[in-house]
Amino acid sequence: MRKIEFRGKRKIDGEWVYGDFEYNRKRDIARIHSYDEELNYKCQTVVMSDTVGEFTGLTDMNGKDIFEGDIVRMLSRGRERIGVVRWDDVNPSFCIKTQDNDIEYDFVKCGEAEIEVVGNIHDKPELLNQPR
């Protein structure tokens, strides 16, 4: 079974927190619920809602968890592409949207491609503007 987890940046200091997600539409408040093992305490952290991303259930070639909003490098058949992990509402699944011709790849079609998380759209948006 796939682990269901979200991440978001804390409003108070911009640090990433991971756990369950809750959005209060009435109050426009996004929270991540997590467990602090050091304090043995359940935490509710207010996060910036535009930074919340879901764990895809997959890891990259280095074993790093891949989240929605991650910037990834794909290497397939000698060609390198940079893309962003997004949710596709048309074909409900996570996909990688590249900059060249706005091509979208679902993770199944990536097949033998090597995928590596190189950053995310919140911490390193400049990675999307690098010439290839």
What CATH code is carried by the domain that includes residue 102? 2.30.30.290
Same domain, 69 and 114: yes
CA gyration radius, the chain: 16
| Structural contact between residues 47 and 30, judged by C-beta atoms closer than 8 angstroms | yes
Task: pLDDT band for 69, please (50, 70, 90 cuts).
Answer: very high
pLDDT attached to residue 102: 61
Residue 15 inside a domain? The answer is yes
Which tokens belong to 121?
């759209």
Q: Which domain holds residue 41?
A: 6-51
Give the whole-angstrom CA distance, residue 31 versus residue 22.
Answer: 5
| Cα(49)–Cα(38) distance, integer angstroms | 26
How much is the pTM? 0.87
Query: Do 59 and 122 fall within a single domain?
Result: yes
- The backbone region for 14, taken as left when phi is positive above 0, alpha when psi lies in -120 to 50, beta otherwise, is left
Check whether 131 has a pLDDT greater than 60: no
Q: By percentage, how much of the chain surpasses pLDDT 90?
A: 51
What pLDDT score does 128 carry? 83
